[in-house]
Structure 1
Amino acid sequence: MSSLYRRCFVHGFRSGWVGGLWPSVPAIPQFCVLGPMYHLYTSFLGQQGALVCTAVTETAITYGANTRNAEVAYNQYVPRKDRLTNLTPAYKPIGPGALMHAVRNALGMCGMRVFAAPLDEHMCKVIRNPQASRMVSDFVASCLSGAISMPFNQLYNFFVTSKEARESTRLQRVALATTYLRGQYLTIAPGGSVRPSKIMLRDMGMRCLYAGTLFCIYATIERTLVENWPAWSEAYLC
């Protein structure tokens, strides 16, 4: 993991944040979709329908900005001849890799929306403090969903930064995706057996830490607001 950060900041401190401005603006409505809109969808469609609709809505809002971020960051670290041209507009709602983007979003939020509650039923037997138990459950569950969503996240990034994938048909991208995942995450041992590569463990670890931290913080803030909002409202009105 340290090699990733060294490469990220190889051109100086500012280079590590290149492209980061693009997704920062749509992140505001994105988090509103992740919370209030999810609960609205749930009231009409149930949990499974809400997960799908929330993920698709997130993608429609953030696909262009996330893609522009990935393209700019990619161009920062490749030779000039390999740089991407015709960069994606930040407002574009769909394009190559959009399906992977939406699947990643749906699986990523499963931690705090699906896995955390049943996990907390067992965690509370070990951690007696209810708040601490739920936070740990949110983190562990979100790490799990991060691991599950990792291949789709990497495929999305591959589709938007690979010139070949960007110019391919949908059917051709399926073959490219299979080749990419096999080459990136599987190695053949001397005995001929296939096993996970070190890159898979690295990428999964990075994704778990990111998803675990982000969704745990989000779930804690959301839960605190929901539990205390009536009391805060009454205190304000009085």
Structure 2
Amino acid sequence: MDEMDAANMEPMWPAAASAEYIDARIELGKAERRLRDQIEEVAALRRKLPQGTSLPDYTFAEGHRDLGRPEPTTTTNLSELFGEYETLVIYHLMFHPDDDEACPMCSLWVDGFHGVAHHIAQHVSFAVVGKAPLPKLRAWALRRGWHGLRILSSHDTSFNADLNVERAHGGQRPVISVFTKDGDGVRHFYSQPANFLDNDERGIDLLSPVWNLLDLLPSGRGDWYAANSYAGAQRAH
């Protein structure tokens, strides 16, 4: 990366900024550029993954696109979720069949996906799959305002267990997965849980604008944790 200095870069500070601030901001700018380059290097490594395993054509329960309509319930195969594309992204919603609400962090992520769904749809098929029975999933999606997203239930299937998005005792894991389809069927391409290999958190933070915005603050993100509702807040949906 070429060296940067105040004379050769577009300013990221007010005209009255101190020399001390400008010097520190330039050093930060260099680090931000290195981070961008590393993100691109990781993306390139991801694209070079060897061919993934072939998968069964799992069958999910799905309802009407209008979340307010309880009927009809249909069955949808994994291969059918691709639509016109050869690639499919699934967010595995952490929603145990016995729970009444989905994981707050998962709900935060899907809120974000919902907000940009019309952009995502220009490139790839996208769906949200949870282990809870379909009526619970749809009721939760309706409460969150996830209109237009495909919401499917993997209840009574081995999909979650086979993809390792479910622990041996039945606990659900927050994971995003990418699948491909060709003449030989559906293959797994990539999965990333919310935790890294060493079980440290923040594995999919880059997929949520919330965390990236909080990281801009003088106080940082702190130990804040998402909730399914906030006192005094009104939903925008």
| Same structural fold, with TM-score higher than 0.5 when normalized by the shorter chain | no
Greater relative contact order (Cα < 8 A, sep 6+): 2
Say which one has the larger Rg. 2
Bigger proportion of residues as helix: 1
TM-score for the superposition, normalised by structure 1? 0.23
